[in-house]
Protein backbone atom coordinates (compact mmCIF):
# COMPACT_ATOMS: atom_id res chain seq x y z
CA UNK A 1 0.00 0.00 0.00
CA UNK A 2 1.24 3.50 -0.82
CA UNK A 3 2.49 5.81 1.95
CA UNK A 4 0.25 8.50 3.35
CA UNK A 5 1.67 11.90 2.43
CA UNK A 6 -1.00 14.17 3.95
CA UNK A 7 -3.27 13.30 6.83
CA UNK A 8 -5.75 15.84 8.18
CA UNK A 9 -7.51 14.79 11.36
CA UNK A 10 -10.59 16.45 12.87
CA UNK A 11 -9.71 19.87 11.51
CA UNK A 12 -11.95 22.69 12.72
CA UNK A 13 -11.66 26.31 11.65
CA UNK A 14 -14.00 29.21 12.32
CA UNK A 15 -13.86 32.91 11.57
CA UNK A 16 -15.55 34.59 14.52
CA UNK A 17 -19.12 33.23 14.38
CA UNK A 18 -18.75 31.52 11.00
CA UNK A 19 -17.90 27.83 11.15
CA UNK A 20 -15.94 27.02 7.97
CA UNK A 21 -14.61 23.54 8.67
CA UNK A 22 -15.70 21.13 11.38
CA UNK A 23 -13.96 17.86 12.19
CA UNK A 24 -12.72 17.46 8.63
CA UNK A 25 -10.48 14.44 8.11
CA UNK A 26 -8.78 13.51 4.86
CA UNK A 27 -5.90 11.31 3.82
CA UNK A 28 -3.86 11.61 0.62
CA UNK A 29 -1.60 8.81 -0.56
CA UNK A 30 1.68 9.04 -2.43
CA UNK A 31 1.26 10.03 -6.12
CA UNK A 32 -2.49 10.36 -5.67
CA UNK A 33 -4.56 13.23 -7.09
CA UNK A 34 -7.24 14.26 -4.64
CA UNK A 35 -9.87 16.72 -5.80
CA UNK A 36 -11.63 18.84 -3.19
CA UNK A 37 -15.03 19.91 -4.52
CA UNK A 38 -17.47 22.31 -2.96
CA UNK A 39 -19.54 25.42 -3.51
CA UNK A 40 -17.90 28.83 -3.23
CA UNK A 41 -17.30 29.63 0.42
CA UNK A 42 -17.43 25.98 1.50
CA UNK A 43 -13.94 26.16 3.04
CA UNK A 44 -11.92 24.49 0.24
CA UNK A 45 -9.24 27.17 0.09
CA UNK A 46 -9.17 27.44 3.89
CA UNK A 47 -8.42 23.71 4.05
CA UNK A 48 -5.54 24.15 1.60
CA UNK A 49 -4.15 27.17 3.48
CA UNK A 50 -4.27 25.23 6.74
CA UNK A 51 -2.31 22.38 5.14
CA UNK A 52 0.47 24.73 3.98
CA UNK A 53 0.49 26.59 7.31
CA UNK A 54 -0.83 29.95 6.06
CA UNK A 55 -3.78 29.64 8.46
CA UNK A 56 -3.88 28.07 11.88
CA UNK A 57 -6.87 25.78 12.53
CA UNK A 58 -8.76 26.07 15.82
CA UNK A 59 -8.33 22.37 16.48
CA UNK A 60 -7.23 19.16 14.80
CA UNK A 61 -3.97 17.84 13.39
CA UNK A 62 -2.26 18.15 10.02
CA UNK A 63 0.42 15.57 9.28
CA UNK A 64 2.68 15.89 6.26
CA UNK A 65 5.03 12.94 5.88
CA UNK A 66 4.10 11.98 9.45
CA UNK A 67 5.14 15.38 10.88
CA UNK A 68 2.43 17.38 12.60
CA UNK A 69 3.02 20.81 11.07
CA UNK A 70 1.06 22.52 13.84
CA UNK A 71 3.73 21.52 16.34
CA UNK A 72 6.66 22.76 14.24
CA UNK A 73 8.63 25.98 14.66
CA UNK A 74 8.68 28.35 11.67
CA UNK A 75 12.14 27.10 10.75
CA UNK A 76 10.99 23.47 10.80
CA UNK A 77 7.80 24.37 8.94
CA UNK A 78 9.85 26.07 6.23
CA UNK A 79 11.88 22.88 5.85
CA UNK A 80 8.59 21.01 5.19
CA UNK A 81 7.37 23.78 2.85
CA UNK A 82 10.49 23.41 0.67
CA UNK A 83 9.03 20.10 -0.44
CA UNK A 84 5.59 21.54 -1.25
CA UNK A 85 4.43 23.55 -4.25
CA UNK A 86 1.41 25.85 -4.12
CA UNK A 87 -0.44 27.29 -7.10
CA UNK A 88 -2.57 30.26 -6.08
CA UNK A 89 -5.93 31.09 -7.63
CA UNK A 90 -4.56 34.27 -9.21
CA UNK A 91 -1.11 32.69 -9.81
CA UNK A 92 0.39 35.33 -7.43
CA UNK A 93 3.37 36.05 -9.69
CA UNK A 94 5.74 38.68 -8.29
CA UNK A 95 4.71 41.55 -10.54
CA UNK A 96 7.92 43.56 -10.16
CA UNK A 97 9.97 40.65 -11.55
CA UNK A 98 10.26 39.07 -15.00
CA UNK A 99 9.24 35.45 -15.54
CA UNK A 100 12.92 34.44 -15.31
CA UNK A 101 13.31 36.27 -11.99
CA UNK A 102 10.04 34.82 -10.69
CA UNK A 103 11.33 31.31 -11.31
CA UNK A 104 14.89 31.81 -10.16
CA UNK A 105 13.88 33.70 -6.98
CA UNK A 106 13.06 30.57 -4.98
CA UNK A 107 15.95 28.54 -6.43
CA UNK A 108 18.54 31.13 -5.38
CA UNK A 109 17.24 31.18 -1.85
CA UNK A 110 16.75 27.44 -1.39
CA UNK A 111 20.05 26.30 -2.82
CA UNK A 112 22.94 28.50 -1.67
CA UNK A 113 25.55 26.57 -3.65
CA UNK A 114 23.69 26.73 -6.97
CA UNK A 115 25.49 28.41 -9.88
CA UNK A 116 23.95 30.95 -12.28
CA UNK A 117 24.25 28.42 -15.12
CA UNK A 118 22.39 25.77 -13.15
CA UNK A 119 19.67 28.30 -12.37
CA UNK A 120 19.36 29.32 -16.03
CA UNK A 121 19.19 25.69 -17.16
CA UNK A 122 16.57 24.81 -14.57
CA UNK A 123 14.46 27.85 -15.45
CA UNK A 124 14.57 26.99 -19.16
CA UNK A 125 13.77 23.32 -18.52
CA UNK A 126 10.81 24.18 -16.30
CA UNK A 127 9.45 26.67 -18.82
CA UNK A 128 9.70 23.94 -21.48
CA UNK A 129 7.57 21.69 -19.25
CA UNK A 130 4.79 24.29 -19.31
CA UNK A 131 5.47 25.16 -23.01
CA UNK A 132 6.25 28.82 -22.37
CA UNK A 133 9.95 29.17 -23.18
CA UNK A 134 9.29 32.34 -25.15
CA UNK A 135 7.88 34.17 -22.10
CA UNK A 136 11.14 34.02 -20.18
CA UNK A 137 11.86 37.77 -20.26
CA UNK A 138 8.27 38.99 -20.07
CA UNK A 139 6.74 40.79 -17.13
CA UNK A 140 3.62 39.23 -15.52
CA UNK A 141 1.52 42.18 -16.77
CA UNK A 142 2.31 41.09 -20.36
CA UNK A 143 0.87 37.58 -19.85
CA UNK A 144 -2.67 36.31 -20.41
CA UNK A 145 -4.63 34.58 -17.63
CA UNK A 146 -3.74 31.11 -18.90
CA UNK A 147 -0.07 32.02 -19.31
CA UNK A 148 0.04 33.38 -15.76
CA UNK A 149 -1.35 30.06 -14.48
CA UNK A 150 1.30 28.16 -16.43
CA UNK A 151 4.10 30.36 -15.12
CA UNK A 152 2.66 30.08 -11.60
CA UNK A 153 2.72 26.31 -12.06
CA UNK A 154 6.30 26.43 -13.35
CA UNK A 155 7.36 28.51 -10.34
CA UNK A 156 5.71 25.99 -7.99
CA UNK A 157 7.37 22.92 -9.50
CA UNK A 158 10.84 24.38 -10.09
CA UNK A 159 12.08 23.06 -6.75
CA UNK A 160 10.79 19.54 -7.56
CA UNK A 161 8.21 19.33 -4.77
CA UNK A 162 6.80 15.98 -3.71
CA UNK A 163 3.43 17.51 -2.90
CA UNK A 164 1.51 20.06 -5.00
CA UNK A 165 -1.45 22.07 -3.74
CA UNK A 166 -3.64 23.78 -6.33
CA UNK A 167 -6.13 26.48 -5.36
CA UNK A 168 -8.73 26.78 -8.15
CA UNK A 169 -6.20 26.23 -10.98
CA UNK A 170 -8.75 26.80 -13.75
CA UNK A 171 -10.97 29.53 -12.33
CA UNK A 172 -11.41 32.49 -14.65
CA UNK A 173 -10.15 30.62 -17.73
CA UNK A 174 -12.10 29.72 -20.86
CA UNK A 175 -13.05 26.00 -21.24
CA UNK A 176 -10.27 25.25 -23.75
CA UNK A 177 -7.49 26.83 -21.67
CA UNK A 178 -9.02 25.26 -18.59
CA UNK A 179 -8.76 21.82 -20.22
CA UNK A 180 -5.17 22.52 -21.29
CA UNK A 181 -4.15 23.54 -17.76
CA UNK A 182 -5.85 20.45 -16.30
CA UNK A 183 -4.04 18.18 -18.78
CA UNK A 184 -0.78 19.95 -18.00
CA UNK A 185 -1.30 19.36 -14.28
CA UNK A 186 -1.95 15.66 -14.91
CA UNK A 187 1.08 15.29 -17.21
CA UNK A 188 3.38 17.03 -14.74
CA UNK A 189 2.04 14.91 -11.91
CA UNK A 190 2.85 11.75 -13.87
CA UNK A 191 6.24 13.01 -15.07
CA UNK A 192 7.39 14.25 -11.68
CA UNK A 193 5.54 11.61 -9.63
CA UNK A 194 3.96 14.20 -7.36
CA UNK A 195 1.07 13.95 -4.94
CA UNK A 196 -1.60 16.58 -5.59
CA UNK A 197 -4.49 18.16 -3.77
CA UNK A 198 -6.62 20.22 -6.15
CA UNK A 199 -9.30 22.55 -4.87
CA UNK A 200 -11.81 23.33 -7.62
CA UNK A 201 -15.42 23.51 -8.64
CA UNK A 202 -14.56 22.85 -12.29
CA UNK A 203 -15.95 19.51 -13.43
CA UNK A 204 -13.70 19.25 -16.52
CA UNK A 205 -10.65 19.77 -14.37
CA UNK A 206 -11.83 17.13 -11.88
CA UNK A 207 -12.64 14.58 -14.61
CA UNK A 208 -9.16 14.93 -16.11
CA UNK A 209 -7.13 14.95 -12.91
CA UNK A 210 -9.03 13.11 -10.17
CA UNK A 211 -8.06 9.78 -8.68
CA UNK A 212 -10.39 10.44 -5.79
CA UNK A 213 -12.83 13.23 -4.93
CA UNK A 214 -14.15 14.65 -1.70
CA UNK A 215 -17.04 17.09 -1.49
CA UNK A 216 -17.17 19.75 1.23
CA UNK A 217 -20.61 20.86 2.31
CA UNK A 218 -21.66 22.82 5.39
CA UNK A 219 -18.18 22.59 6.93
CA UNK A 220 -18.00 18.78 6.63
CA UNK A 221 -16.76 16.19 4.15
CA UNK A 222 -20.18 15.26 2.84
CA UNK A 223 -19.17 12.79 0.11
CA UNK A 224 -16.09 10.84 -0.87
CA UNK A 225 -15.45 8.57 -3.81
CA UNK A 226 -14.42 8.63 -7.44
CA UNK A 227 -15.68 11.28 -9.83
CA UNK A 228 -18.05 9.01 -11.77
CA UNK A 229 -19.79 7.90 -8.58
CA UNK A 230 -20.28 11.49 -7.56
CA UNK A 231 -21.64 12.60 -10.93
CA UNK A 232 -24.05 9.67 -11.07
CA UNK A 233 -25.12 10.09 -7.44
CA UNK A 234 -28.84 10.19 -6.74
CA UNK A 235 -28.29 12.66 -3.91
CA UNK A 236 -30.42 15.75 -4.74
CA UNK A 237 -27.72 18.21 -3.68
CA UNK A 238 -25.02 16.54 -5.80
CA UNK A 239 -27.41 16.12 -8.74
CA UNK A 240 -28.22 19.82 -8.56
CA UNK A 241 -24.55 20.83 -8.22
CA UNK A 242 -23.28 18.71 -11.09
CA UNK A 243 -26.21 19.52 -13.38
CA UNK A 244 -25.22 23.19 -13.10
CA UNK A 245 -21.59 22.32 -13.78
CA UNK A 246 -22.53 20.21 -16.82
CA UNK A 247 -24.67 23.03 -18.25
CA UNK A 248 -21.69 25.39 -17.82
CA UNK A 249 -19.46 22.92 -19.68
Partner 1 sequence: MNLPKHKYGRRLSYGDYLYNFFATLTGLTIFNWEFLKQAFLPPYEISEVKKHMTELGVKTLGIVSITGFIIGLVLAMQSQPVMQRFGAGDFLPGMVSLSVVRELGPVITALIFAGRVSSGIGAELGSMRVTEQIDAMEVSAINPFKYLVVTRVIATTMILPILTIYVIIIAIMGAYIAIIIVEPMSFQYYQNSVVQSIEFGDFIPGVAKTFVFGYIVGLVGSYKGYSAEGGTEGVGRASTTSVVLASLLILVFDMVLVKITLWLWPTL
- Residue 237 found at the interface with partner 1 (CB under 8 A): no
Task: Give the C-alpha distances (Å, rounded to integers) separating 14 from 21, 38, 50.
Answer: 7, 17, 12
**Which C-beta is closer to partner 1: that of 156 or that of 241?**
156
Residue 197 has φ and ψ, to the nearest 5°, of -120, 120
The stretch near partner 1 (CB under 8 A) out of 63-71, 74-82, 122-130, 240-248 is: 74-82
Site for partner 1 in 126-165 (CB under 8 A): 159
* HSE-CB for 172 with a 13 A CA cutoff: 13
Whether 28 contacts 195, CB under 8 Å: yes
Candidate list 34, 44, 69, 86; residue touching partner 1; CB under 8 A = 86
**Which C-beta is closer to partner 1: that of 15 or that of 125?**
15
**Which C-beta is closer to partner 1: that of 82 or that of 100?**
82
Shortest distance (Å) from residue 106 CB to partner 1: 5
- Residue 110 found at the interface with partner 1 (CB under 8 A): yes
**Which C-beta is closer to partner 1: that of 78 or that of 131?**
78
- Residue 94 found at the interface with partner 1 (CB under 8 A): yes
Instruction: Please report which helix (H) or strand (E) contains residue 117, including its range.
Output: helix 116-129
- CA distance linking residue 209 with residue 186, whole number of Å: 6
Whether 200 contacts 206, CB under 8 Å: yes
Shortest distance (Å) from residue 79 CB to partner 1: 7
Shortest distance (Å) from residue 35 CB to partner 1: 20
**Which C-beta is closer to partner 1: that of 66 or that of 96?**
96
Shortest distance (Å) from residue 69 CB to partner 1: 12
- Residue 54 found at the interface with partner 1 (CB under 8 A): yes
| The dihedral sign for the CA sequence 180, 45, 5, 77 | positive
Shortest distance (Å) from residue 92 CB to partner 1: 4
- CA distance linking residue 4 with residue 15, whole number of Å: 29
Candidate list 7, 14, 30, 82; residue touching partner 1; CB under 8 A = 82
Number of residues that bind partner 1 (CB under 8 A): 22
What region does 14 belong to: left with phi over 0, alpha with psi -120 to 50, or beta? beta
- Residue 15 found at the interface with partner 1 (CB under 8 A): no
The DSSP output letter for 121 is: H
Task: Give the C-alpha distances (Å, rounded to integers) separating 142 from 21, 86, 98.
Answer: 38, 22, 10
Pairing of strands 195-199, 33-38: parallel
> Would you tell me which residues interact with partner 1 (CB under 8 A)?
52-54, 78-79, 81-82, 84, 86, 88-90, 92-96, 105-106, 109-110, 159
Amino acid sequence: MADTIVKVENLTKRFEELLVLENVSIEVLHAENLIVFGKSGSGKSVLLKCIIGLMKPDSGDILINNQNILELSLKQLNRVRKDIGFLFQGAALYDSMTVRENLSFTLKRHFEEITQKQIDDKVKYTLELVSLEEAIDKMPSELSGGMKKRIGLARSIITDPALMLYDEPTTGLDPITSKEISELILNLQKKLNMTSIVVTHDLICAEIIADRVIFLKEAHVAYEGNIDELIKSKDPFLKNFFSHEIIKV
